[in-house]
Amino acid sequence: MPDYIAHRDTWLSHENRKVSAGEEFSTVFPDVNGKPMRLSDNIELVKKGKKVVDAPPADGAPADDNLI
């Protein structure tokens, strides 16, 4: 799951919770009309995700491409 850091107090409406300025948090933002949600400047992506080591590849994809 991607990790983000909040630069200001931010309301995550899709999770019905608040993150405080400086807090690192994990979430998956929903797509909007089939496109990735555009994030404001107060949220920064710090880690995209990690590889799944023991899980089988999804839909026949090679294990190296199986990210969460």
SS3 29: coil
Whole-prediction pTM value? 0.63
- For the stretch 44-68, pLDDT in tens is 999 876 544 444 555 555 555 444 4
Does the residue 36 lie in any domain? no
- Rounded to a whole number of angstroms, the distance between the first and last alpha carbons of the chain is 6
pLDDT of residue 32: 87
What the block records as the tokens of 37 is 């949600």
Has residue 48 been placed in a domain? yes
Residue 60 in any domain: the answer is yes
Residue 53 inside a domain? The answer is yes
How many domains does the chain fold into? 1
**In which domain, by residue range, is 60 found?**
3-29+43-65
